[in-house]
Amino acid sequence: MKLATYKDGSRDGQLVVVSRDLASAHYATGIADRLQQALDDWNFISPQLQDLYETLNGGKSRHAFPFDPKQCMAPLPRACQWADGSAYINHVELVRLARNAKVPDNYYTEPLMYQGGSDDFLGPCDAAPFVTEEWGIDFEAEVAVVTADIPMTTTPEQALDGIRLVMLANDWSLRHLIPDELAKSFGFFQSKPATAFSPVAVTLDELGDAWKDGKLHLTMQSQWNGRTVGMCDAGQEMTFHFGQLIAHICKTRNVRAGSIVGSGTVSNRAVEKDGKKEWVKGYSCIAEKRAIETIQDGKPSTDYMKFGDTIKIEMKGQGGQSVFGAIEQSVVKYGK
Amino acid sequence: MKLATYKDGSRDGQLVVVSRDLASAHYATGIADRLQQALDDWNFISPQLQDLYETLNGGKSRHAFPFDPKQCMAPLPRACQWADGSAYINHVELVRLARNAKVPDNYYTEPLMYQGGSDDFLGPCDAAPFVTEEWGIDFEAEVAVVTADIPMTTTPEQALDGIRLVMLANDWSLRHLIPDELAKSFGFFQSKPATAFSPVAVTLDELGDAWKDGKLHLTMQSQWNGRTVGMCDAGQEMTFHFGQLIAHICKTRNVRAGSIVGSGTVSNRAVEKDGKKEWVKGYSCIAEKRAIETIQDGKPSTDYMKFGDTIKIEMKGQGGQSVFGAIEQSVVKYGK
């Protein structure tokens, strides 16, 4: 099924069930008001949401209304955890190659993850506010999952059973703040402002064969100012699957229901053409484009985003339909 | 007033108002069920809680019961944010001095902060479970505040107005996992398991003169296996006050109600005695004791915690009474 959270002036919004084709929706009133509530008591609540979903898909809901992604908050407008991986090692390799740095050996054997802020997520069509363009505003197109309760020491394979929902994320990054923060060794902080999520979160059964071995085998489409810049395969080249990412958290602690775990920037390797490397799939963040330019030309030529720029992030299913709806945001000056 | 969260089998527990002397308590039923609910709508709900608090202190509550810290969850059993600073620069200096590393200049001008997991906090008397002693189990006694909504770009002075509650934290650390994690430059992750908090969270008016300039001028008392190891002043030597810590988060994003912001390990400088340095106030985490030993003797002699060890963390007010109640935890093997 597909679930979304409608704006209603409250902090957590109102849970709605959305039809498979994203055309219509129905409030889940009487079943659960908020998505976190459904996740807290999934085995009891989700069958009721599923019933409503089937009625809605059959066109038989009496109080259905046209679904409007602009009315959406993030599926979880705030969460108890946002842990983001960097599971596409190609992304790390590119960025490091551009500055002549070696990728440490353990990057290939255990996931890189950082703990993100989860108190103030952006809706899929909310403007993204930043104080200044000088900080190097960049989008990052990612896949993210929402978990059940998963106890400490759970294995990667077991952890896959704890995935309740899948959605897309735009993990906004402020590139020029990153070097100083990483040098302080405490990880990203100011360089990671509020993250945005797709209009709907979907259960695994919606993904069919595209969900395999803990990875989502679909194409992450990124359009920057209306121009397609990325058509990256999110499946094949994911170095660590979602079960591995979750198990990484579980090494020393429990993961509780409603935790969001991200894949990191979706990234694909170059192909060799006439002895030359070509990044034919494009990119899911500008930092990667700049890394490629640096490798090829000695310096980056693409600037980061400016106020007024737009970004659209979406994934189409095997039948061509939008699976999660689109993240469509514009970059704005904070306070204007 | 003083607020706590009683265990009731649910994820968020039941909000109770606790008397000033921590002797009695009263469910806040009818006012607010959960602490997050009160924080979400503080201006409306807090005066009602304050009324109940005054009735309780006057001994006139009909349904009061003896307060038992063992029945407490963390005041916020899960939260939308746990951002922990390292605001006592003496702690950083000691740890670096022990390994002959210089403290970077910017450590003195802007706070170090890391984003912690906030999905699964421990109650004040909950056992702290760890997979193995080999990871270097350590306590960290800290002061923490709970915030209101505080918008992006708020100044340190303005941010002080957004502090709703103060409590104590035991920010458990796995010391031997830290070097590898910091080397990966993504910050603490597996090295920071579930944090515990004091039985009660208190409003600023409860602290009187002890709350000054965004710092809590009281003594952090740490007892390890029944022996007092730390009597550290939390006020004087706090390099960055809580307004500065909050404003550090606000540089690039909003801080939302119910965010928890920590001080980092409370730490005091050595005093000179007969030309020798003496750390007379003791320590609020074992890593610091080991750093002192390394500076003095060339190597550490104090081991980290073992299964069965206990830690008690408490603060007494100017009149000698416990302000927040005590964190009293034992270290146990996970799954046993």
Q: Which DSSP string corresponds to A113-140?
A: EEEEP-SSPBPTTS-EEES-GGGTEE--
Nearest-CA distance B121 → chain A (Å): 10
**Residue contact A249–B130, C-beta within 8 A:** no
Q: Averaged over A146-172, what is the pLDDT?
A: 98
pLDDT confidence bin for B51, thresholds 50/70/90: very high
d(C-alpha A239, C-alpha B279), whole Å:
48
pLDDT by residue (tens digit) across B254-299? 999 999 999 999 999 999 999 888 999 999 999 999 999 999 999 9
Interface test with A, best of B11, B35, B80 (most A CBs within 10 A): B80
Long-range contacts of A288-295 (CB under 8 A, 24+ apart): A288/A91, A288/A94, A288/A95, A289/A229, A290/A98, A291/A94, A291/A95, A291/A97, A291/A98, A292/A94, A292/A98, A294/A98, A294/A99, A295/A94, A295/A97, A295/A98
> Which stretch of A154-158, A163-167, A318-322 has the lowest confidence by average pLDDT?
A318-322
Residue A115 has its nearest CB partner, among B115, B174, B258, at B115
ipTM, two decimals: 0.97
pLDDT band at residue B106, thresholds of 50, 70 and 90? confident
Read off the tokens for A312: 């659209």
> Is the CB of residue B172 less than 8 Å away from at least one CB of chain A?
no
In angstroms and rounded to an integer, the radius of gyration of the C-alpha atoms of chain A is 19
Rounded Cα gap, residues B307 and A261, in angstroms: 31
pLDDT mean over B303-325: 97
Q: Does B183 touch chain A (CB under 8 A)?
A: yes
- Strand pairing partners for A233? A219
Q: pLDDT at position B125, please?
A: 98
Verify whether the Cβ–Cβ distance B114 to A186 is below 8 Å: yes
Q: Which residue has the tokens 């993990």?
A: A171
State the smallest CA–CA distance between residue A241 and chain B in angstroms.
18
> Cβ B106–A335 below 8 Å, yes or no?
no
Residue carrying the six token digits 């899960």:
B78
Kindly report the nearest CA distance between residue B249 and chain A, in angstroms. Answer: 6
Chain A residues close to B194, C-beta within 8 Å = 253-254
Average pLDDT for residues A219-243, to the nearest whole number? 97
Tell if the CB–CB gap between A187 and B183 is shorter than 8 Å.
Answer: no
Q: Does B187 touch chain A (CB under 8 A)?
A: yes
Q: What is the pLDDT of residue B98?
A: 83
Chain B within 8 Å of A255 (Cβ-Cβ)?
A: yes
The more confidently predicted of residues B275 and B321 is: B321
| Subunit contact B187:A259, Cβ cutoff 8 A | no
Interface touch A255/B119, C-beta < 8 Å: yes
State yes or no: pLDDT of B184 exceeds 90: no
Mutation target vs B (from A37, A252, A254; most B CBs, 10 A cutoff): A252
- pLDDT band at B319, cuts 50/70/90? confident
* Residue A256 binned pLDDT confidence (cut-offs 50, 70, 90): very high
**Percentage, residues of chain A above pLDDT 70:** 100
- pLDDT per position as a tens digit, B193-224: 999 999 999 999 999 999 999 999 999 999 99
Cα(A247)–Cα(A245) distance, rounded to whole angstroms? 6
Residue type, B41: D
Q: How many CB atoms lie within 10 A of CB B228?
A: 11
pLDDT of residue B88: 96
**Which of B152, B177, B185 minimises the CB distance to A182?**
B185
Residue A216, classed as helix, strand or coil, is strand
pLDDT tens, B112-155?
999 999 999 999 999 999 999 999 999 999 999 999 999 999 99
Contacts of B333 in chain A (CB under 8 A): none
Instruction: Read off the pLDDT of residues A14-59 as tens digits, 9 standing for 90 and up.
Output: 999 999 999 999 999 999 999 999 999 999 999 999 999 999 999 9
Q: Would you give the DSSP letter of residue B146? A: E
pLDDT tier at A318, thresholds 50, 70, 90: confident
- What is the Cα–Cα distance from B263 to B265, expressed in whole angstroms? 7
Average pLDDT of span A133-137: 98
A258 interaction partners in chain B (CB closer than 8 Å): 119
* Amino acid B170: pLDDT: 98
Beta strands in A171-303 (DSSP E): 173-174, 196-197, 201-202, 211-212, 215-216, 219-224, 227-233, 260-262, 271-273, 276-278
pLDDT of A183 above 90: no
What confidence tier does B99 reach under pLDDT thresholds 50, 70, 90? confident
| Interface mutation vs chain A, best among B177, B186, B261, most A CBs within 10 Å | B186
Report the C-alpha dihedral over residues A185, A191, A197, A203, rounded to 10 degrees. Answer: -10
Residues of chain A contacting B11 with CB distance shorter than 8 Å: 40, 256-257
Least Cα distance to B205 among B91, B93, B49 occurs for B49
Chain A, 71 to 100: residues with Cβ < 8 Å from chain B are 78-81, 83, 86
Whether pTM > 0.95 for this model: the answer is yes
**What distance in Å separates the CA atoms of residue B39 and residue A224, rounded to the nearest whole number?**
39
